[in-house]
Amino acid sequence: MDIRLPEHVRQIRETVARFVDREMPRSAAADWDARNHFPRDVFARLAQLGVMGLTVPQEYGGHGRDILATMVVIEELSRRSLAVSVPYIMSACYAGMNLVDCGSEAQKRALLPRVVDGSLIFAYGWTEPDVGADLASVKTRARRDGDWIEITGAKRFCSGADIADYIYALVRTGDEAARYKNLSIVLIPPDAPGVSISRIESLGMKGAATTDVVFEQVRVPLENVMGGEAGWDNGWSMIVGSGLDVEKLEVAAIATGVARAALEDAWSYVHERRQFGRAIGEYQSIQHKLANMKTQLHAARLMLYHAANLADARESAGVETSMAKLFATEMAKTVVLECQTIFGAYGYVKSLDVERYVRDALLLPIIGGSSAVQRNNIFKWSSQPAAAL
């Protein structure tokens, strides 16, 4: 199995890395984090690189589906700031991939070019105050009224709703007892009458702020149902397809970027910090910590890239994407906390980036399906473990 990056992906990595160094300096990343601010101007310049089109077919102005390249972009951006990498996911993946896989032809032609130029962002409106992993229990309701849809309900942990162009909302469109058979996805503009958004103060992942969203008799046209008329009562199939696999990889890519940033900073620090007459990097205990972390990071990246290649080929990859998400996010938490320990007291102050890495890393095993959910998936879907081994 050859998991070396293709030449065009290496070039994309180098291009994005230069962009990060030029347009996303450490001081700016710290400011975005402190203010929970989305730097829309930086995001617009990122779109000029063409990387928003890595999930969009050429006929709609993109470069064609390239999941591996998309994960590399997420990793490079996350190395510096989730205030840019998460909105990138919300555009290229949440909007781009869902429109390609689930949108009507009219929706694709109207909206996919906006993904490519960086002017379209989706926020996922799936979870609710009493609904987490069990999405089929959503209580937000939508009813048809002629050529209009009326939505009433609430969403929780709707990240980025106040910077998005549409909330990609999962709604109940019939009897709750039917569960999976009467769900739909509706595109709801955050500024529509009856929509109210309030921020939830959270520990990390600043820039695409976590929010509560309330819908009070919000009316949108029937054409805002994802997939058009055919999408009514067909929402469940839209959230359990290949997009769910890629969502796990998106979080794994964030984790890889954050862990890499922490390890790079720690690696530099151990050659600068002196104790008892020599750099702390000369002590074997520190060297072993760094060696272990580098190995864990490398393993996570290999799992991520392997699963991304499977997703690119549209092969069944539920187990592999769950393993990549589980391993990478738990790795990031372990590595970042270890790096904070190497920094000592300095790792606990906000003047150094490692404090931000810690806050971001703690979230990653939770979002995109918790580590417990991924372990359940791996066991459940590995029906013939002996053969797989």
**CA 356 – CA 30 distance, rounded (Å):** 8
- Among 89, 103, 91, residue whose Cα is nearest residue 224: 103
Q: Rounded to the nearest 5°, which phi and psi values hold at 227?
A: 90, 0
Are 335 and 261 in contact by the 8 Å Cβ rule? The answer is no
Torsion on CA atoms 97, 95, 172, 156, rounded to nearest 10 = 120
Q: Could you write out the DSSP letters of every residue in 145-166?
A: ETTEEEEEEEESS-TTTTT-SE
247 in active site:
yes
* DSSP bridge pairs for 168: 124, 187
- Among 194, 197, 181, 165, residue whose Cα is nearest residue 99: 165
**CA 138 – CA 179 distance, rounded (Å):** 9
- Among 176, 165, 162, 171, residue whose Cα is nearest residue 144: 171
Cα–chain center distance at 155? 18
**Among 247, 250, 320, 330, the one annotated catalytic:** 247
* DSSP bridge pairs for 186: 169, 225
Query: 58: exposed, middle or buried (C-beta count within 10 Å: 0-12, 13-18, 19+)?
Result: exposed
Are 125 and 188 in contact by the 8 Å Cβ rule? The answer is yes
**CA 42 – CA 28 distance, rounded (Å):** 10
Are 388 and 323 in contact by the 8 Å Cβ rule? The answer is no
Cα–chain center distance at 93? 8
Beta strands in the chain (DSSP E): 122-125, 141-145, 148-155, 166-172, 183-188, 195-199, 211-221, 274-275, 278-279
Q: Which residues are catalytic?
A: 247
